[in-house]
Amino acid sequence: MKGDFSIDNTEKIHLLKIQLKKLNKAFKTLPEGHLSIGHSNGSYKWFYFNNGEKTYIKKSDIKLAKKLALKKYIKLKMAVVSGEINELSKTQLNLIESRDKLNTLLSDPAYIELLEDYFSTSDMETDYWMNADYNRSRSHPENLIHPTVNGIMVRSKSESMIAVALTENRIPFRYEELISINNISIAPDFTLLHPMTNKTYYWEHFGLIDNENYYENFAVKIKTYAKANIILGDNLIVTFETSDNPLSFNTINNIINQYFD
């Protein structure tokens, strides 16, 4: 019945309203106008729109570009949070459309570069863990062609999407950290540290699961992890995609909510 919530939903709505209030307060401190980014042959330019005028933003004016990028992010984030509140309140709002717009912004490396300061963790312990030196895979560095947050280069667009979603949700991670299982070195795509419990999780993304040889590799990896008590559904997170069904931000965020909410 409308208005008949569980305690969990009531608490979630309360927290979302607090988040929305903070976002709105931050939004009001940012400059007038909006940012547009033009992409061409792997490079991009920043443009400032205000009072009907379009102005090119020089690289030396990166502070303005960062503020305008943050303004755009916060505006889209507020639409998503408002949609989540309405969804939990059993009212109708096109939450999917709001999320899609936010996800489009977060899949653009040009915006991610400008939003890095905002996404950086404020927790000293997890920040130290993320930025400390670690034994990282050196296999096929030529395949690290997709830029993502914190200057990290990854091997696929899907891995970049996972890194962005983890960063937005303030979940510290390491990319391709080598671990040893029965004297075998293995590099999970992501090693995660739960920000509240400090429990370690591992996230593997399998992007060619419809390929027979790739599927066999997946099965071997799962068995190898199990030998080290890294168990699928517990501390091992796995995502898949095929050529017909690519990984989406919605899938990634649903998984993050399942394990880290």
**CB-CB contact of 205 with 247 (8 Å):** yes
The whole-number pLDDT of residue 7 equals 45
- Predicted TM-score (pTM) of the model is 0.76
The whole-number pLDDT of residue 112 equals 87
The whole-number pLDDT of residue 129 equals 85
* Average of per-residue pLDDT values in the chain: 87
What does the pLDDT look like over 27-46, one tens digit per residue? 999 999 999 999 988 889 99
Q: How far apart are CA 175 and CA 187, in angstroms?
A: 8
pLDDT (mean) for 167-171: 89
- 100, 102, 190: which is closest to 150 by C-alpha? 190
Q: Which fold has domain 124-260?
A: Trna Endonuclease; Chain: A, domain 1 (3.40.1350)
Q: Using 50, 70 and 90 to split pLDDT, how confident is the model at 4? A: very low
Q: Between 212 and 43, where is the model more confident?
A: 43
Task: Supply φ then ψ for residue 229, to 5 degrees.
Answer: 60, 30
CA angle, residues 53, 71, 74, in degrees to nearest 5: 145
Q: How far apart are CA 43 and CA 84, in angstroms?
A: 35
What does the pLDDT look like over 45-58, one tens digit per residue? 999 999 999 999 99
The whole-number pLDDT of residue 91 equals 64
**CB-CB contact of 130 with 173 (8 Å):** yes
Cα distances (Å, whole numbers) of residue 109 to 16, 140, 170? 27, 22, 18
Q: Report whether pLDDT(1) > 50.
A: no
User: Which pair of tokens denotes residue 192?
Assistant: 């995660």
- 134, 115, 9: which is closest to 71 by C-alpha? 115
Range in 172-176, 181-185, 205-209, 245-249 the model is least confident about = 205-209
What does the pLDDT look like over 65-121, one tens digit per residue? 999 999 999 999 999 999 888 888 876 557 778 888 888 888 888 898 898 888 775
Per-domain residue ranges of the chain: 7-119, 124-260
Q: Report whether pLDDT(20) > 70.
A: yes
**CB-CB contact of 136 with 176 (8 Å):** yes
